[in-house]
Structure 1
C-alpha cells in the first residue's frame, strides 16, 4: 500500500468509491452549514449542484475517423509515410468471424450505442441528479443552438436526424400512461399512432397529450375521450374505427409507472455474438448500435 495501487488493480474501483462517498458527505455538510454555495443550473426549474462526477462516453467524429485510420494502418502494416493497400473493405472486417469478417469492433456503431445509453438513462433515471442537470440546461431541445455536445447527441440518437434507430429499438410499456405521448410514441407495439393514422392525427385536437389525458375513469372503467378539430370525413371515420378497435383491448394500470423496454430481443433475423458482434449482415448503423446498446446493459427488459 505504501507504493500505491497499480493501474487495473481490482481494488482500485472500491477505493475510488470510498473516497468519492467521503467527498460527497463533506460537500453535503459544507452546503448545510453554508460554507459552500452550490452552482445553480437552469432557467425555469433550477437545479443546485455542489459536486459533479462524470465520465464522458462520447467520441467526436474527427476522433472516430483518426482511430479508424490508426487501426487500419496497424492491420495492413502501413504508416503515415508508407501507406499499404487495404485489400478488404473495413466494414467487411467488422463483421463477425462467422460471417467472414475479423470481428473488429465498429467504432461508429459502438459510439452510437454509448450515446444510446445516455438517452436510455435520461428516460429511466429522471430523478437522478445528472438527469435533472441535463434537463434543466438542455431540456426543451432548443439548446442545440448553444451546445455542440447536445446538438451532436440529438443528431446521433434522437428522431429523424438519426433515422429513428433508437426509437425503433425501444418500446413503451404503459402503466398509468402519464409519461407517454399518445400519438407520438410507439406504446402499443405496432408503431406510432401519428404514422399509422396520419389523416386522423392531422385533425386531432389532442396532438400533444399523453395517454392518461386521452380519457378518464368512471368508477373502475376506463373511457376514451378523443376530440377532433373538425368534422371527420369518410377516410378519417374508417381510421377511427381501426384505432378504437386497437384501443378497446387496453386499460391503464393505476399506480404503475410507464417504463421503456428494449426490442433487441425480438429480432429473429440476427443474433448477438459475445458482447458486441452481430451475426446478421445488411443491418444499418442504427440496427447495429441498438444491438450494441442492449449488450452494454442499456436495456434489460424484453418485450413479449
Structure 2
C-alpha cells in the first residue's frame, strides 16, 4: 500500500495536540514556513507554502510519522477487537503479524477471510478521512499465497486495487520466490551486468575498476550478500573488497543480538533462537532473568555443561542466579538441593563449582544484560564482528597494510605494490607462464640475457638497481641485502627505526620508486 498527497497541518496538529498548550506555537512554526529553490546553484526568493504540507516541505517527515503511527494504532485496535485476524508466525504460532511499515510502504498481512477484506477497506477509508493522506490503490496490490485467482479477483473489486503475484518487490527486495531457481537470481546478475559495462572495463584503470567493483557490490541488496566470494581485506594483503558472505553473517548476528537484548520485540517471537553462543555472556545484576544452570554467565560454558552431574541431581534446575545467591551458594547454603546424597567424587565437583562462585558479587544497581565478549564495552558492532569473522578465515601477510597502503599516494600506486608483492605484474616471465608470449621473448629489456622477473627487474637490473643506492645515500640509511621484494620493502621501511612518521616516510619513498621504475620499464618496452 502506498500513500501520497498532502495533509492539512492545522487539523493534524489540533487533533494530536488537543490538550497541549503549545499547539498554537507549533502551528505557527509550521504554517509560516517558507522555502526556496536552487536554480543554477543560486537560491531563489523565499515563498510561502500555501498548498498544504507535502513530502519535502519543512517538518513533513515528522507529520508523516504521526500519520503512519495513526495507521499503526488503528490496525492494533482492529486486531485487539477481533475485527482483523493477522498472520501467525514463530514457534507454536505465538506471534501475530498484522502489518509492517516503512515510510510510505506498508504491508498488511492476514488470513484469507471476507471479514479481513472488509476490515481492510474500512481501515483505509478511515485513514484517508482522518489524516488526509490518499491511498494510491493503483500501486497497491493484493497478493495471495496458495489462494485461488477467482477469490483474489473478487477481493480486489472490494478493495479497489489490483492482483499481485509472488515474488513482488517491497523496499527494493523481492518477497517470496524460490532461491533455488536461476530466475530468482536473474535481477542480481542483470544489475551487475548493467553496471559493469564492457566500455568501463576497457577505459578504466585498475584502481578505477576496483572502485567500480566496490560500488556495485555495496549496492547489492542484503538478500544477495551470500551469493559471491570476494577477495581479502587490506589487513590481509588484499584489495579491501568486503567479503559479502561474512558481512551477511555479521548482519544476521546483529538481529540475533537484538533478540537477546530487546525483550518483547516482534522479531524475538517470530524468529527465536540464540546465535554466536561462544561469543556472548550474561552480565548478572539485580534481576532474576539469568538462569543459574542454563545461561552462560560464569566462565566459557554454562554450569549445566561444565557440571552436568550436579545439574542432573539438582531439584531446582530452573533457579535464577539472584535466587540462588539469596538462598546461599556457599558451603551449607540452601541453594544446593539434591535428589539424593552426593557421592565422594560428586562432592569434589561441588567444591570445584563453589570455588568458581567464591568471588562472585552481584551488582545491585544494574539489571541483567547480555554482553559481547570481543568488545570492551560489551556491545555488538557489525564492523568489529566482521573483522573478527574475516580475521579467522584468511592468513594475514606480515606487514601488508603498513607496506602497501598509504594515504598520500594514488590508489593505482598501492595496487601496483600489491600486485608486485603477489608477483602478479605482467612481467615477461608471468606472460610466458600464461602462454601470452613466446619462449624467446622472455629476456630482460636491457638485453642482459637474464629472465625478466619482478625481483630481477626491480633489484638486479643494471640500470634500475643503482637507483636504490642513490636513494639510500640521499637519506643516509644503510644498504639492504634482501634479494626478494617482500624482504627488500620491509628492510627499507624499517631502516630509520621504529618511529611511525619515519616508517610512513620511507614507505612513501619506496612506493614512489617502484612506480617510477615500472613506468620506465614500460616506456623501454613499448616506446623503444
Q: TM-score range by the shorter chain?
A: 0.5 to 0.7
Closer/same/farther in 2, CA of residues 281 and 275 from structure 1, 3 Å limit: closer
Q: Is the 1:183–1:208 Cα contact (8 Å) retained in structure 2? A: yes
Closer/same/farther in 2, CA of residues 72 and 96 from structure 1, 3 Å limit: farther
Closer/same/farther in 2, CA of residues 182 and 41 from structure 1, 3 Å limit: farther
2:83 is matched with 37
Greater RCO (Cα-Cα under 8 Å, separation 6 or more): 1
> Which of 156, 160, 176 does residue 286 from structure 2 map onto?
176
Which sits farther off after the overlay, 167-176 or 47-56? 47-56
- The reply on whether 1:192 has 2:328 as its aligned counterpart is no
1:209 is matched with 319
The size of the alignment, in residue pairs, is 234
> Which of 57, 66, 72 does residue 24 from structure 1 map onto?
72
Q: Is the 1:175–1:258 Cα contact (8 Å) retained in structure 2? A: yes
Shift in Å at residue 168 of structure 1?
1.7
Any idea what the Cα deviations from partners look like across 1:172-217, whole Å, max 9, x if unmatched? 1112341112112211244321222233233333333322343536
Shift in Å at residue 15 of structure 1?
6.8
3-state SS, counterpart of residue 179 of structure 1: coil
Structure 2: stretches of 5+ with no match in the other structure: 1-48, 107-169, 199-227, 395-528
3-state SS, counterpart of residue 261 of structure 1: strand
In structure 1, how many angstroms separate the alpha carbons of the residues matched to 2:283 and 2:367? 9
In structure 2, how many angstroms separate the alpha carbons of the residues matched to 1:111 and 1:280? 11
Q: Is the 1:38–1:49 Cα contact (8 Å) retained in structure 2? A: no
Closer/same/farther in 2, CA of residues 250 and 168 from structure 1, 3 Å limit: same
In structure 1, how many angstroms separate the alpha carbons of the residues matched to 2:69 and 2:341? 61
In structure 2, how many angstroms separate the alpha carbons of the residues matched to 1:190 and 1:179? 19
1:54-203 to 2 correspondence within 5 Å?
62=179, 93=231, 95-128=232-265, 130=266, 135=269, 150=271, 154=273, 158=274, 166-203=276-313
In structure 2, how many angstroms separate the alpha carbons of the residues matched to 1:179 and 1:19? 37
In structure 2, how many angstroms separate the alpha carbons of the residues matched to 1:200 and 1:212? 19
> Which of 392, 402, 426 does residue 283 from structure 1 map onto?
392
2:336 is matched with 226
Closer/same/farther in 2, CA of residues 186 and 224 from structure 1, 3 Å limit: farther
> Which of 344, 353, 358 does residue 248 from structure 1 map onto?
358
3-state SS, counterpart of residue 375 of structure 2: helix
- The reply on whether 1:265 has 2:375 as its aligned counterpart is yes
In structure 2, how many angstroms separate the alpha carbons of the residues matched to 1:48 and 1:113? 27
3-state SS, counterpart of residue 184 of structure 1: coil
In structure 1, how many angstroms separate the alpha carbons of the residues matched to 2:313 and 2:194? 58
In structure 1, how many angstroms separate the alpha carbons of the residues matched to 2:192 and 2:354? 55
Shift in Å at residue 257 of structure 1?
2.6
1:298 is matched with none
3-state SS, counterpart of residue 168 of structure 1: helix
Shift in Å at residue 115 of structure 1?
2.6
Shift in Å at residue 240 of structure 1?
0.9
Shift in Å at residue 99 of structure 1?
0.7
- The reply on whether 1:237 has 2:347 as its aligned counterpart is yes
Q: Is the 2:87–2:98 Cα contact (8 Å) retained in structure 1? A: no
Q: Is the 2:229–2:244 Cα contact (8 Å) retained in structure 1? A: no
Q: Is the 1:92–1:100 Cα contact (8 Å) retained in structure 2? A: no
Closer/same/farther in 2, CA of residues 242 and 278 from structure 1, 3 Å limit: same
Q: Is the 2:261–2:369 Cα contact (8 Å) retained in structure 1? A: yes
